[in-house]
Structure 1
Amino acid sequence: MSVAEPRRIVLFRHAKADWPPVADHERPLAERGRTDAAVAGRKLADSAIAFDLALCSTSTRTRETWKIAVHEFPQRPKTVYEERIYEASPGELIALLNETPDDAQNVLLVGHNPGVQAVAEILAGSAEGDAGERMSRRGYPAAAFAVLSFTGSWKSLEPGVATLLDYWAPSE
């Protein structure tokens, strides 16, 4: 693939987690989270983006979100469970995306707030239609995702170079 072809990044926040008396990293999804993860998976499948790579935090809630959502996809992308996503700053998440091999065109990152929302806002130099307004109005609730596009190598991904193409969040 040429670096001149648009790349897509989907920044997917894990679905609603439960609050049992366990370490934060081990918190599972709540029942609503399991439902919302499946709906988000169908929405992502309907987008017809052929993901080459999924980067998923190692936390229980992100792994469960991904397992449920990807079940809706026509084809499962290569998945890398990445410890560095958990509690990552926006800069750390962008640095991680900068490491993506250039043969990957479309990447999905399953992570946590506030990092996922901040990365979407930082990367988006522009937005199509009302996507930016919807993201600003709704915030980034559990199971929300933003679809961004940029042209260039993954190493060239930096603040403001992407266009926010779409934003989706479950109804509350």
Structure 2
Amino acid sequence: MDVVLRPVGEADLGLFRRFAVEPGLVGLDWNGFRDAQAPGRQYAVDGFLGADGGRLMVVAGADTAGFVSWRSGTFDGRTNYWEIGIALLPEHRGRGIGWRAQAMLTAYLFEHTAVYRVQAATHPENHAEQKALEKAGFQLEAVIRGCEFRGGRMRDGYLYSRLRDDPAPELGNGSVTGTGSGSVRGPLAD
């Protein structure tokens, strides 16, 4: 089974609406109900492929498993980095899809943008995501104290990064390759 990253299509908007209104679907990242129509408006603007960020769908075999996202940030006001995220449907978690999708997204961003740094944040209690990020070539950099309000109180976060010069993880049968359809593919075999 392959893991494929592909651009968002109109048929995917229903999945984004679900993430906005189904408590717990995104696990620890649930922050309350959100505007379920916002994804349609954003799709109409740029198809989730904007200059400051975007989303790609994660497809495993024949199933849409979720999506990866990225957004621009800067520490010094001049040098940009990408911060990435992932949201997989519960039935697709724990199968090796997430780390591959994040590794493939990072390779895609390094290939098509000039950034030197890609970072990702996660929760201290999300051990599966910590392992996925490490498998995708990310290194833990810091504990960010009191960085988010979740579940009625301020919580800490973990910050991971991968630099352009860091070694890329082995995805199995070779490197990440683009296809004629604009997808990014990688093998799914544990």
Fold shared, TM-score > 0.5 on shorter chain: no
TM-score (norm 2): 0.30
More helix by share: 1
Larger RCO, structure (CA 8 Å, separation 6 or more): 1
TM-score (norm 1): 0.33
Larger Rg over CA atoms: 2
